[in-house]
Amino acid sequence: DFYFSTISPYTYLSLPRFRALVEARGLDVRWKPLDIMALFARSGGTPVGQRPQARQDYRLADMARQARRAWLPINVKPAHFPTNAAPASYAIIAAQAAGGGDMFALVEAVLAACWAEAKNIAEDEVVKAALEGAGFDPALADSGLLSGAETYGRNLEEAVMAGVFGAPSFVTQDGAVFWGQDRIDDLADHLDGVG
């Protein structure tokens, strides 16, 4: 289970390495976008804007360092952040249910729109372009909104029950939790039965 937020910079930074792991191992991923602000409220996290200034400054510097390491462009202060993460999340949920496209490409496009392209992922045309570019019907952005909202809420509840408190988080079939874009090697070791 891959718990993530469509407005999480660290989810964006995790995607190339996570994709490589999934493809190398032939893993089955259940994509579970969730409301990160609600998760913070439920798990004792603090929204970015309410953190002490030193932590906010460190976050920006760390994001830039991690982006260089991942060879990804990033705007550490995107034009549309925070924004409403729900529309893109509902589209991802609908795409997973519909099948037929590239889920990694879809999630990568949504996150890149926010963190590298100065686009607002709450806007219909941005979400539809991401769907289409990943091989999905762009009309999925308009369908299944009620189902998407229900699944989005359920993803949050499942995350809390699994012990997830941040994004990205990876939860294996045996219930092990790995949090952060820098824990993919630990996830790989766990899948190999190491540690």
d(CA 141, CA 195): 41
Q: What is the pLDDT of residue 167?
A: 97
Sheet with 2-4: list strands edge to edge: 31-33, 2-4, 169-171, 177-179
For 40-84, how does the pLDDT look when each residue is reduced to its tens digit (9 = 90+)? 999 988 888 889 999 999 999 999 999 999 999 999 999 999 899
Pair 181, 11: CB distance under 8 Å: yes
For 129-150, how does the pLDDT look when each residue is reduced to its tens digit (9 = 90+)? 999 999 999 999 998 788 999 9
Pair 21, 186: CB distance under 8 Å: no
The structure tokens 């964006």 sit at 12
Question: Which of 155-159's residues contact partners 24+ apart within 8 Å by CB, and which partners?
Answer: 155/3, 155/32, 155/33, 155/34, 156/34, 156/35, 156/38, 156/39, 156/42, 158/1, 158/32, 159/3, 159/32, 159/34, 159/39
Q: What is the pLDDT of residue 173?
A: 95
